[in-house]
Amino acid sequence: MAVRTEQLHYEADGLSMVGHLAWNEGAGPRPGVLVFPEAFGLGDHAKGRAERLASEFGYVALACDLHGNGAVIDALEEVLPLLQPLRTEAAKVRDRVRQPLAALAARPEVDASRIAAIGFCFGGTMAFELALSGADIKAAIGFHSGLEVTSPQDAKAIKGKVLALLGADDPGIPPEQRAAFESFMREGGVDWQMHLYGGVLHSFTAPEADSRGMPEFLRYDAVADARSWKQMAALLEEVFG
């Protein structure tokens, strides 16, 4: 059955957001998945993953806007200053993750009691921030996602399961960051997992990463991409029942 898509408009953190909704026609409300994009914004990568979630599993998926008006910002030097407040101010990042959750949950195609969040790069951090906010989501899954969050002390508020899928050689997520994440997950009593892929760097799910000319930092890895997608799928099947 063909995947349907449409723009989904919502407001978050004072910005007009334009998400990309993907679903299959079918009987009854079904699970929903938020897809938070990489730091550059809502590009083809996140949109494509939302459509895969719809076509492969029948979920209703919302690829979320990051910068407002569906903007994609290719220059890293322009993106980093925009991300800084979201890395340090819990209220700002939580509004940007909770509003798309509300928009997805309100859709008639969605079973609002069965929603999860996934994300890529900074989008994975946003999925974890949503879980830390105490949102009623079944899982938060991050692919090559930064593990530094605004409020690690709120781990006890996490209701769902947490899965981090990381390149073991990602220079942006060093072992000490992984250890700190493990520590606050343990302290919060969270059902968490972390999977490391040997020899794999950052952005391993994004084929376009190779075109950015940073081969020691950003590199697509087809094997890690496939493995991590399967591990995500298994956890979503588990939590959605």
pLDDT digits 0-9 by tens, 89-132? 999 999 999 999 999 999 999 999 999 999 999 999 999 999 99
Task: State the amino acid at position 173 in one-letter form.
Answer: I
Note the helical H segments in 39-174: 44-57, 76-88, 90-105, 122-132
Angle formed by the axes of helices 90-105 and 76-88, nearest 10°: 90
Of the candidates 137, 111, 102, 107, the residue with the CA atom closest to the CA atom of residue 29: 111
pLDDT tens-digit readout, 124-170: 999 999 999 999 999 999 999 999 999 999 999 999 999 999 999 99
* pLDDT at residue 25 in the model: 84
* pLDDT at residue 102 in the model: 98
* pLDDT at residue 1 in the model: 64
Q: Ramachandran region of residue 13, left (φ > 0), alpha (ψ -120 to 50) or beta?
A: left
Q: Which CATH number fits domain 3-240: 3.10.20.440, 3.30.460.80, 3.30.70.100, 3.40.50.1820?
A: 3.40.50.1820
- Continuous segment of H or E residues that includes residue 176: helix 175-187
User: What's the pTM value of the predicted model, to 2 decimals?
Assistant: 0.97
> And the tokens for 219?
């590199």
